[in-house]
């Protein structure tokens, strides 16, 4: 007999857990990868994990402030990507061999 199984209720903790997972993936990716583009994507992942947290908490707490803050984060992320990609393009023009992040270590003490 068909028992109408009720799907478990999706609570905020699910979203927060997902966000934590995404953040961890991003953080580990940033630390272990050498390709600048991938590192960038990892940063984006972390930012969006935070965004997800914001939205989840905004929903559960009924405070629109969190959702509004997401827009700020997205704008900042977009600006950051623009600047970051511009730096990378400029860097590759000057040094075509600098393909990994470790090749750019001019600030070594």
Which one, 12 or 29, has the nearer CB to other proteins? 29
What's the residue count for the chain? Answer: 109
Burial 39-64 (b: 16+ CB within 10 A, else e): bbbbbebbbbbbbbbbbbbbeeeeee
CA-derived radius of gyration, the chain? 19
Minimum distance from CB of 53 to other proteins (Å)? 14
What is d(CA 90, CA 79) in angstroms, rounded to the nearest whole number?
A: 17
Which one, 57 or 67, has the nearer CB to other proteins? 57
Minimum distance from CB of 23 to other proteins (Å)? 10
Which one, 32 or 61, has the nearer CB to other proteins? 32
Applying CB under 8 A, which residues contact other proteins? 27, 30-32, 34, 39, 101-102, 104-109
Minimum distance from CB of 34 to other proteins (Å)? 8
């Amino acid at each position: 007999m068909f028992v109408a199984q009720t799907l478990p209720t999706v609570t905020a903790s699910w979203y927060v857990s997902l966000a934590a997972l995404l953040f961890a993936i991003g953080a580990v990716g940033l630390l272990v990868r050498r390709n600048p583009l991938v590192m960038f994507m990892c940063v984006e992942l972390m930012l969006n994990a935070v965004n997800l947290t914001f939205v989840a908490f905004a929903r559960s707490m009924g405070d629109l402030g969190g959702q509004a803050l997401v827009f700020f984060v997205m704008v900042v992320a977009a600006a950051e990507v623009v600047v970051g990609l511009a730096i990378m393009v400029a860097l590759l023009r000057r040094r075509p061999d600098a393909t990994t992040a470790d090749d750019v270590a001019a600030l070594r003490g």
